[in-house]
Structure 1
């Protein structure tokens, strides 16, 4: 029986070259497709809700694929987890309607970026948060966050070159939660351009360390010039947290 299988998975992206399958077998998509081949005997493409970059993690990545199977949902989940490495896990499996598409049907994606703001880095947080030893101007950061919300052309806050692709996106909310030295930035939006979250985070941190003014954000939106935005923070603090449909 033909089934459109939706999976929700989490992974530590530290040792992978991102989501998208490459010739080498060190991508998330590649690992999953190899297991589906073993499970069904057929080569099957797996569609992800989005392509996380090399070194980026996920707690709620969503993907789907179509196979001919009589297996039950829990049997498919158990099969995946029996063969996946310990840094990838399938948390949920559900049969969806024939036309469900994990990328096209996504309504909102939530990404989280973690900062560890202390002179000495945490032994336990170091793999999953960016160490920022300098003192941060939290009030300046709070003033900056709402300027990214709403519908804008994010070309200047991306690594894309000028192209015919539509670069307008909507950030529904950008919030900060502080718990001692741990700072969590939560991005909710309809989608994000290549490296946008990491460039926005670099811009926010430059504002927080007084290397740039809050007013510079509007200039980037106006000029659409990448060089006027902040640096690109490393990937290890970034998580795809949730995808809503």
Structure 2
């Protein structure tokens, strides 16, 4: 019997091109597109099993997600990283595979040591109004540590809602507060987007740090229950003890344009569209070196 190996690979995608990352009937998803690409490339059989590290909602972009497939060791030895990537990327649109490494046949991409997300707060309508950045910075610290995030997620039956956040810190460009970066071994469904909404409420003064802290301490839903828009959330990085892809990708958001000062609501909507296009363009430009 042929010796089999696992191939862990890192990939990036444009969020609003898909109805999320996981397979769903009759809609386009990242996993479905990857499976079609594997089928066309042929080197992993007609129906390869792909296991993903992280699930993302419709509209959420990924700078880095990770999956694994199983192939014959002899096939991988002939292909290597470059030919593996090119074989898949030739059949992909709105997704790019940018790194691949051999691992064990039973390697589990879910067993990450850390996942990192970035949320771009400055693009939310609430931040077109005067807001208190000091409160935002104070609030970010509240979410660090171990808490029951029942009030900051979309509940799933039978799933434990306690999570440990390694850090929640400002995401800044040249001293400008762009949003926040948050890291944990795992997150709950909608957790980061709920946190983003809570930050917007406090920044506007429509809620308070005390209300947020109380809801977090009790594991209860706060008085508001909104969601930050998915298009401003990016799955930024995934870390493992035994494999490292992090150093192989750059910070393509380092030159994001700042929102204009003193604009009205309609002007802000137009700027949001421009900001959305800019993010996609920066992501696409970062893909060029991988093709």
Rounded Cα–Cα distance in structure 2 between residues aligned with 1:178 and 1:210? 22
| The one of 163, 166, 187 aligned to 1:169 | 163
Rounded Cα–Cα distance in structure 2 between residues aligned with 1:184 and 1:164? 32
| The one of 187, 190, 195 aligned to 1:195 | 190
| The one of 59, 65, 70 aligned to 2:75 | 70
Range 31-40 or range 207-216, more displaced: 31-40
What is the CA-CA distance between 1:5 and the residue it aligns to? 1.0
| The one of 143, 148, 151 aligned to 2:146 | 151
What is the CA-CA distance between 1:177 and the residue it aligns to? 2.9
Rounded Cα–Cα distance in structure 1 between residues aligned with 2:92 and 2:195? 33
Is 1:238 aligned to residue 238 of structure 2?
no
Write the deviation string for residues 137-187 of structure 1: whole angstroms up to 9, x where unpaired: 0011111111100011111111115x4321111100001133476613100
Range 141-150 or range 40-49, more displaced: 40-49
Normalising by structure 1, we get a TM-score of 0.88
Structure 1: gaps of 5 or more residues: 117-128
Aligned position for 1:24: 26
Report the 3-state secondary structure (helix = DSSP H, G, I; strand = E; otherwise coil) of the residue aligned with 1:202.
helix
Contact 1:114 1:182 in 2 (8 A): no
Aligned position for 1:114: 120
Write the deviation string for residues 10-63 of structure 1: whole angstroms up to 9, x where unpaired: 111112100001122510000001111222342112111110111000001111
Name the one with the larger strand percent. 1
Contact 1:25 1:31 in 2 (8 A): no
Contact 2:149 2:219 in 1 (8 A): yes
The equivalences for 1:49-88 within 5 A come to 49-68=53-72, 70-71=75-76, 72-73=79-80, 74-85=82-93, 87-88=94-95
Contact 1:6 1:64 in 2 (8 A): yes
Structure 2: gaps of 5 or more residues: 241-291
Report the 3-state secondary structure (helix = DSSP H, G, I; strand = E; otherwise coil) of the residue aligned with 1:4.
strand
Aligned position for 1:102: 109
Report how many residues are paired: 230
Is 1:42 aligned to residue 37 of structure 2?
no
Name the one with the larger helix percent. 2
Contact 2:147 2:162 in 1 (8 A): yes
Aligned position for 2:131: 136
Rounded Cα–Cα distance in structure 2 between residues aligned with 1:9 and 1:194? 21
What is the CA-CA distance between 1:75 and the residue it aligns to? 1.4
Report the 3-state secondary structure (helix = DSSP H, G, I; strand = E; otherwise coil) of the residue aligned with 2:36.
helix
Report the 3-state secondary structure (helix = DSSP H, G, I; strand = E; otherwise coil) of the residue aligned with 1:70.
helix
Rounded Cα–Cα distance in structure 2 between residues aligned with 1:222 and 1:93? 41
Change (3 A) 1:24 1:67: farther
Aligned position for 1:124: none
